[in-house]
Amino acid sequence: MAKHLQREIENLKKEILTIGAMAEQSVREATLAIKDRNERLAGAVIENDVNLDQKEVEVEENCLKILALHQPVAIDLRFIIAVLKINSDLERVGDLAVNIAERAMFLATQPEVNIEFDFTAMAVKTQEMLKKSLDALVNLNAGLAREVCACDDEIDAMNRRMFLITRDAINAYPDRVDTLIHLLSVSRHLERIADHATNIAEDVIYMIEGEIVRHGIEQYQPKLCH
């Protein structure tokens, strides 16, 4: 029975990595659609979200089945609980990527507005956090998970800067309010994706150490974010 449980857990690890890869791809393609003003790519992200949603349901059902059949304890129980929560976070990441893709479809039809904000840098940093949180899960690396948590403040600061830039730009370009609000939404969605990456990292720390670290992020030193 123990061997069967471990086999189920290994399969579960593969499944959560699959949905993680799907979420990463959605974010990558949605932000690329913004950069390249690519309606076709944005449409593909929206269309493919149904696959991610279906996978999320399958992973949840498998977690519940393992809990019911094997009644795991200790690290195995924490792993399954963590996967249940991470699964939900990844589904939300997919939804946020769809939101970005929808903004991309609108922006592709509008003249560009020149503002001093590097969406690419924010997107890259957010994607790095997401990838690192999943790497921490696979490698059971609490240190790597803490690095993800330390990066969240940087993304929050980027989002606040974008808000100030948008506020000033609305005064400068009052006829382009719709475009500017859509750009601000992209920043906000990226900030939310970074929050979900942080949630995943916190769940990894719980899984490995049995320590709940939510609401205690001040312990993470900003110098860890690189």
Of residues 155 and 74, which shows the higher confidence score?
A: 155
Share of the chain above pLDDT 70, in %: 94
Given a cut of 70, whether residue 30 has pLDDT beyond it is yes
pLDDT tens figures, 123-137: 999 999 999 998 998
Three-class HEC string of the chain:
CHHHHHHHHHHHHHHHHHHHHHHHHHHHHHHHHHHHCCHHHHHHHHHHHHHHHHHHHHHHHHHHHHHHHHCCCHHHHHHHHHHHHHHHHHHHHHHHHHHHHHHHHHHCCCCCCCCCCCHHHHHHHHHHHHHHHHHHHHHCCHHHHHHHHHHHHHHHHHHHHHHHHHHHHHHHCHHHHHHHHHHHHHHHHHHHHHHHHHHHHHHHHHHHHCCCCCCCHHHCCHHHCC
**What's the CATH code of the domain at 54?**
1.20.58.220
Q: How far apart are CA 10 and CA 160, in angstroms?
A: 40
Share of the chain above pLDDT 90, in %: 74
Task: Evaluate whether 133 touches 148 at the Cβ level (below 8 Å).
Answer: yes
Please name the amino acid found at residue 208: I
Split into its structural domains, the chain has a count of 1
Given a cut of 80, whether residue 212 has pLDDT beyond it is no
Given a cut of 50, whether residue 208 has pLDDT beyond it is yes
pLDDT tens figures, 82-118: 999 999 999 999 999 999 999 999 999 999 888 888 8
Averaged over 58-71, what is the pLDDT? 93
Task: Say what the pLDDT of residue 2 is.
Answer: 81
Per the structure, the complete domain to which residue 164 belongs is given by 2-224
Task: Say what the pLDDT of residue 225 is.
Answer: 66
Given a cut of 50, whether residue 47 has pLDDT beyond it is yes
The separation between CA 163 and the C-alpha centre of its own chain, rounded to angstroms, equals 21
Task: Say what the pLDDT of residue 1 is.
Answer: 62
Task: Say what the pLDDT of residue 159 is.
Answer: 95
